[in-house]
Every structure is written in C-alpha cells, then in structure tokens.
C-alpha cells in the first residue's frame, strides 16, 4: 500500500521532493498607495535560489492574516527556474507580480493556474526562449504583460489566447524573427504594443487586424524591409507609430489616423502623409519629396539629412511650430519659403547651402514667433541683422561655421531684444575684434555659447573660439559634416592662408563640389552599413530621445565591394579636380605665399559622420 501511494504521488506531483522544500517569506511588507489612496500591501521576497525541482511553502512574515491583503509580490536578488505557482495559491488577491532579472528560463500555463486576480505581470531580463500555447490562459484579468529583454525566439500561435483584457504588451529586445499573422488575434483590448529591437523582417498585413483599440505601435530597431498592404489602416485609434531604424523603402500611412510618426534611419525616398499627422520625425532617409496634401495639422517636422531641395510642399504647412531642414541641399531660399508659417518657433537651416545671397528682406518677415534660428555652415560671408527685423522673439541664434569676419553686434539687442544665446565658432574672427565683441555681448546679457567639442585649446582663441591676430586672414576649412564629429582633431594644418585675399568668393565652386560629394558619400556609406548589419542605431526612448550617433565609420575591408570602388573613384576624381582648380587660382595670384591644402579635414569629415543632439534645435 505504501509503495502504491509513493508511486501515485510521484506521477501526479513530480516536482515535489520534500528534501528540496523551500520556505518563501516576505522580507518586507509595506502599504501601497496611489494618489494618496490606499491600494494594498506589497510583499518583497529576497535572496531566493531555486531550480526546476524546487517546491515552495510561502509565508508572509509568518503572519497568515497578511495573505489576504497582499496585492503585490516582487522577487529581489533571486534566482528562479520558473514562476513559483505557490504564490498565487497563497495570496488569493494578488494583482501584480514582478520577477525581473531572476534567471527564469521556463513559463507554462501551470505556473499561473491560481492567478485569477492577476492584472500586471513583469518578467523582464530573464532567459525565456519560448511562449507555448495557452501559457497565460488562466490569467483572464491580465492587463499588462512585460517580457522585454529575454531570449524569446518563438511564440506559438495560441500563446495569447484568453487575454481579452490585455492592454499593454511589451516584447522588446528579444530574438523574434517572424510573427504569425494570427498571433495577436485574441488581444482585442490591446492599447500599446512594443516589439522593438528584435530581428523582424516582415510585418504581415493582418498582424494587428483584431487589435482595433491600439493607440501605440513600436517596432523600431528591427530589420523590417516590408510592411504588407494596409497593415495599419484599420487602426482608427492609432496615435503613435515608431518604425525607426529598419530597412523600409516605403510605408503606407495615408489611410490611418496616426498623429506621431517616427521613421528615421530607413531608406525612404518619398512619403505620403495622412491628414491627421502632427509630428513627423524622419531624419537620415533619402527623402526627396513628401506629399502633405490634405494635411492641416502638422506641427513638428524634422527632416535632417535627407535629399530635399524643393520647399513648395512644406511651405503650405501653416501650423508648423518646429522645422528642421538641416543637411538638405535646399540651395537659395525664396522670399516665400516660410511666409505662411506664422506659428514657427524653431527653424534649423544648418548646412543647407542657402548661400550669402539667399537671405533677403522678407525671408523671415512673417515668422514673428520664431525663438530659435540656426544658420550654421552656409558660407555666409556677412549677415545683415536688419533682414531679421521682425524676429523680436528670437532668443537663440547660431551662425557657426560660416566665413564671417564681423557682425553688427553693437545694436544686436535692437533687432533681437530677447536674445539670450548666440554661437559663433568656426568663423574668420580677428582675435581683437572677437574679444571686444564677446565683452559687449556679455554686457548685454547675451551668452556666447561654445559647444564643448568645438572649443579650441591648442590654437589662438578667445574663450575657446578660434581666431587670428594678424593682417592675414585665415579661412578655416572645417567641413560642415565635421561639425558633427565628436573626435575633432587639431585643424591648424588645415588652414588656408592668403594675403588680404578672400578666397571664399573664388573657391565657391569647389566648396559646392565638396558639399555635394560629402552628401553622396554619406548616402553610399549608409547603404553599405545597411548591407552589413541592417541597423544604424538602437532607438530606446519612448518618443523624444534621439540617437546620438549618425552612421558609422567607413571600414575598408580586404574584399572591397563594387560600391566602395565607386566611392573611392569619386573621391580621387574630385580631389584631382580641386587640385587643378586651386593651382590655377594660385598662379593667377602671384602674391600667394603660403598654402595648406585641407585634405586631412576632408578625409576626416568623409570617413566619420557623428551626430549630436546638442546642436539640433
């Protein structure tokens, strides 16, 4: 008889081994309150070490009266094989469980048999590899499920069955390569889903078809090249869509109600936006055209490092408050370019080739609410502040990286009464003039700001701003793309020195060729990186954080691909063209005494492209 009972118990309860019976108790019990209202009691269980054969007896500080009021359990500094099912049998009204970084390897439906009241389950940073069918079927009350930073590479078709109440699902930072079209079919109450930083390649058309309440989808940091059909068209409540850092050549959002679209680091050349879109963040693509037809809601448009040269579509966006067009080949501006943008607050025109003759009276006449303006790296030989007479609200002005020798700073507060910050680095300042200007600007309570990476230490400078102190002008060939280089080297060997002759007017064509080549080389480098690994960055922050790095270093490998061969041929042809042109110029000016060719700066700027949000408006 005893033998029979022993065999029976081993068959039914294979996990129970009385020699491995472990006691779990609440090391800390405290009240939980939200908005000054009593919510329940939290039990913290610490320093548990268990394996797959462990069985638990749970007590809450040896006071059984607590068992009925415990509503949250957190495992701290513990090592578990799976979720101890006993906690749900002991704490009958448990609503929240956290078992993060506990080494959990297995989840199965038996773990949650008694979790009838559970609403929130968080198992981040464990070692879970698979979600089997019906694994959460007993938790019909679950509203939040967080399985981020595991090793999940497989989700069976019915893994989420019975989760009709689930509102927030997080599967970020796993190893998912594909998702079956019906995998989310039971998640009819889902509001937010995060599948970012996996290895997904395709989004099926009906993947979210039953999730009609979705307001947020985050699938950035994957390898997605195709989003089939109208995958988001049925989601009328969708507000935020993040598809950053993928391999997309096209995306259909025309039929959606999306208000916030994040799509940097893809391969888009054109985009049709929907009528409700308010925030478009699409830098580091290949965009040449964006169709805004029917859109009257756009408030924030960030298009850094694309191929936009025509502003006719953008000019119609009368509600814009933030516009970033930096590193686009805009060329000369029209007087009407920003005329209808009466609400514009921030405008970034850094390295847009607008040239000295583009800034004319009327260009900013209608932008009376503008507070921040960036005109950096645009070959501006001079700036007439009277052109900006309507910008009475301006607080930040950036004119770095031009060829300025002077500005009318004496009356700067007349034009910009609210100006509090100006940045002036990488211009052709005489040291005495620069010193006097900085003193007077400070006396007017204007901060002369120098970005840390541009601050000069080993050359002639005033407060970290490079300058010269003799009759010979210096034209500093700091490349506009080097403006983004966090590892700037000493540029003293890259100065072009001429006696009293302003080379900029004579070398404008060379500058244009350099700029065009740099953009082409960046685009080709980006494509090479996409072929290598398909990713340019990991996009982490919920909405606003922007990646600090733009692209990667060009790596010369032993087996050079055809695209790299083309890249180097273009480089050497352009270098030859520049050399011949400059030699002709030198001969035409016999008084030229000293000449340093800016090859090192050019090589550095084309080899390394780093970005910084420090200089983005």
Q: Left (φ > 0), alpha (ψ -120 to 50) or beta: where does 545 sit?
A: beta
Q: What is the 3-state secondary structure (H, E, C) of 387-442?
A: HHCCCCCCCEEECCCCCCCCCCHHHHHHHCCCCCEEECCCCCCEHHHHHHHHHHHH
Give the span between the Cα atoms of 482 and 615, in whole angstroms.
Answer: 13
For residue range 294-352, list pLDDT tens digits in order. 999 999 999 999 999 999 999 999 999 999 999 999 998 999 999 999 999 999 999 99
Give the span between the Cα atoms of 47 and 565, in whole angstroms.
Answer: 58
Q: Which residue has the higher pLDDT, 241 or 509?
A: 241
- Considering only 30-34, 279-283, 365-369, which range has the smallest mean pLDDT? 30-34
Give the span between the Cα atoms of 330 and 315, in whole angstroms.
Answer: 13
Model confidence at 93, pLDDT cuts 50, 70, 90, reads: confident
pTM, rounded to two decimals? 0.74
pLDDT value of residue 309: 94
Query: What is the average pLDDT across 105-115?
Result: 92
pLDDT value of residue 29: 65
The distance in angstroms from the start CA to the end CA of the chain is 81
pLDDT value of residue 89: 83
Average pLDDT, the chain: 78
Contacts of residue 320, Cβ cutoff 8 Å, sequence gap at least 6:
298, 299, 300, 301, 314, 341, 343, 344
Q: Are the C-beta atoms of residues 466 and 459 closer than 8 Å to each other? A: yes
Model confidence at 164, pLDDT cuts 50, 70, 90, reads: very high
Model confidence at 483, pLDDT cuts 50, 70, 90, reads: very low
pLDDT value of residue 244: 98
Query: What is the average pLDDT across 456-474?
Result: 82
Give the span between the Cα atoms of 202 and 178, in whole angstroms.
Answer: 7
pLDDT value of residue 91: 84
Query: What is the average pLDDT across 539-545?
Result: 38
- Specify the DSSP element, H or E, that contains 271: strand 270-272
Task: Give the single-character DSSP code of 237.
Answer: T
Q: Which residue has the higher pLDDT, 37 or 138?
A: 138
- Measured between alpha carbons, how far is residue 521 from residues 34, 149, 458, 549 in Å? 54, 36, 31, 17
- Say what percent of the chain tops pLDDT 90: 55
CA atoms within 13 A on the CB side of 179: 30
Model confidence at 237, pLDDT cuts 50, 70, 90, reads: very high
Token pair, residue 17, equals 């081994």
Nearest Cα to 421, choosing from 387, 390, 444?
444
Is residue 501 pLDDT above 80, yes or no?
no
Give the span between the Cα atoms of 245 and 612, in whole angstroms.
Answer: 17
Give the span between the Cα atoms of 440 and 268, in whole angstroms.
Answer: 47
pLDDT value of residue 571: 74
Query: What is the average pLDDT across 595-599?
Result: 33
pLDDT value of residue 356: 64
Give the span between the Cα atoms of 174 and 197, in whole angstroms.
Answer: 7
The CA radius of gyration of the chain, in Å to the nearest whole number, is 31
Give the span between the Cα atoms of 203 and 219, in whole angstroms.
Answer: 9
- Specify the DSSP element, H or E, that contains 511: helix 508-533
Q: Which residue has the higher pLDDT, 213 or 41?
A: 213
Model confidence at 25, pLDDT cuts 50, 70, 90, reads: low
DSSP assignments along 244-255, one per residue: -SS--S----TT
Token pair, residue 587, equals 């001969």
- Say what percent of the chain tops pLDDT 70: 68
pLDDT value of residue 95: 94
pLDDT value of residue 45: 87
Query: What is the average pLDDT across 284-294?
Result: 96
Instruction: State the residue for tokens 């080389």.
Output: 521
**Class of the domain covering 21-175:** alpha beta
Model confidence at 449, pLDDT cuts 50, 70, 90, reads: very high
Secondary structure percentages of the chain, helix, strand, coil, to 5: 20, 20, 60
Query: What is the average pLDDT across 373-386?
Result: 91
Is residue 545 pLDDT above 50, yes or no?
no
Model confidence at 569, pLDDT cuts 50, 70, 90, reads: confident
- Measured between alpha carbons, how far is residue 64 from residues 91, 159, 347, 483 in Å? 10, 35, 64, 66
Query: What is the average pLDDT across 168-176?
Result: 98
Strands 154-155 and 240-242: unpaired
Token pair, residue 596, equals 């340093």
The domain spans of the chain are: 21-175, 503-615
Q: Are the C-beta atoms of residues 609 and 550 closer than 8 Å to each other? A: yes
Q: Are the C-beta atoms of residues 298 and 278 closer than 8 Å to each other? A: yes
- Measured between alpha carbons, how far is residue 183 from residues 142, 161, 210, 321 in Å? 17, 9, 10, 40
Q: Which residue has the higher pLDDT, 502 or 579?
A: 579
Q: Which residue has the higher pLDDT, 91 or 388?
A: 388
- Considering only 413-427, 474-488, 541-555, which range has the smallest mean pLDDT? 541-555
Is residue 260 pLDDT above 70, yes or no?
yes
- Considering only 23-37, 45-59, 119-133, which range has the smallest mean pLDDT? 23-37
Is residue 509 pLDDT above 70, yes or no?
no
Give the span between the Cα atoms of 261 and 321, in whole angstroms.
Answer: 16
Query: What is the average pLDDT across 399-423?
Result: 94
Is residue 112 pLDDT above 70, yes or no?
yes
pLDDT value of residue 452: 83
Token pair, residue 374, equals 């960036």
């Amino acid at each position: 008889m005893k033998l029979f009972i022993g065999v029976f118990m081993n068959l039914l309860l294979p996990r129970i081994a009385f020699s491995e019976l472990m006691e779990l108790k609440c090391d800390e019990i405290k009240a939980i309150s939200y908005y000054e209202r009593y919510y329940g009691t939290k039990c913290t269980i610490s320093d548990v070490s268990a394996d797959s054969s462990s069985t638990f007896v749970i007590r809450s500080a040896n006071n059984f009266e607590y068992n009925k009021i415990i509503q949250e359990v957190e495992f701290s500094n513990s090592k578990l094989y799976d979720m101890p099912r006993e906690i749900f049998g002991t704490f009958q009204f448990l609503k929240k469980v956290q078992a993060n970084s506990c080494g959990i390897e297995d989840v199965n439906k038996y773990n949650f048999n008694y979790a009838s009241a559970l609403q929130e389950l968080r198992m981040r940073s464990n070692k879970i590899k698979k979600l089997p069918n019906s694994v959460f079927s007993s938790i019909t009350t679950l509203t939040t499920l967080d399985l981020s930073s595991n090793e999940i590479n497989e989700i069976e078709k019915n893994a989420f069955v019975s989760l009709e109440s689930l509102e927030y699902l997080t599967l970020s930072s796993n190893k998912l390569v594909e998702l079956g079209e019906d995998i989310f079919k039971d998640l009819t109450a889902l509001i937010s889903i995060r599948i970012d930083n996996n290895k997904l390649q395709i989004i099926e058309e009906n993947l979210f078809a039953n999730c009609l309440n979705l307001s947020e989808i985050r699938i950035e940091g994957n390898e997605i090249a195709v989003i089939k059909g109208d995958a988001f068209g049925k989601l009328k409540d969708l507000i935020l869509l993040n598809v950053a850092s993928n391999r997309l050549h096209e995306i259909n959002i025309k039929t959606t109600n999306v208000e916030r679209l994040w799509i940097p680091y893809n391969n888009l050349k054109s985009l049709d936006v929907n009528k409700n879109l308010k925030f478009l963040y699409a830098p580091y693509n290949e965009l040449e055209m964006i169709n805004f037809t029917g859109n009257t809601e756009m408030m924030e448009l960030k298009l850094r490092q694309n191929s936009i040269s025509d502003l006719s579509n953008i000019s119609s966006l009368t509600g814009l408050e933030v516009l970033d067009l930096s590193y686009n080949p805009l060329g000369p501006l029209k007087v009407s370019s920003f005329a209808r943008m009466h609400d514009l607050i921030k405008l970034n025109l850094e390295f847009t080739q607008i040239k000295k003759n583009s800034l004319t009276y009327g260009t900013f006449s209608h932008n009376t609410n503008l507070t921040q303006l960036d005109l950096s790296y645009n070959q501006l030989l001079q700036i007439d502040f009277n052109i900006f007479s309507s910008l009475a609200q301006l607080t930040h002005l950036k004119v770095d990286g031009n060829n300025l020798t002077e500005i009318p700073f004496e009356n700067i507060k007349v034009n910009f009464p609210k100006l509090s910050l100006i940045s002036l680095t990488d211009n052709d300042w005489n040291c005495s003039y620069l010193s006097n200007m900085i003193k007077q600007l400070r006396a007017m309570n204007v901060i002369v700001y120098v970005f840390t990476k541009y601050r000069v230490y080993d050359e002639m400078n005033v407060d970290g701003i490079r300058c010269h102190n003799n009759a010979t002008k210096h034209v500093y060939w700091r490349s506009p793309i080097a403006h983004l280089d966090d590892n700037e080297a000493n540029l003293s060997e890259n100065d072009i020195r001429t006696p009293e002759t302003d080379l900029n007017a004579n070398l404008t064509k060379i500058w244009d060729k350099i700029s065009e080549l740099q953009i082409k080389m960046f685009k080709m480098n980006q494509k090479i990186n996409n072929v290598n690994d398909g990713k340019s960055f990991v996009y982490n922050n919920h909405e606003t954080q922007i990646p600090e790095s733009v692209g990667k270093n060009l790596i010369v490998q032993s087996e050079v691909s055809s695209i790299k061969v083309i890249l180097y041929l273009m480089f050497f042809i352009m270098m030859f063209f520049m050399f011949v042109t400059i030699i002709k110029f030198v001969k035409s000016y016999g008084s030229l005494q000293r000449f340093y060719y800016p090859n090192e700066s050019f090589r550095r700027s084309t080899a390394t492209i780093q970005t910084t949000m420090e200089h983005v408006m």
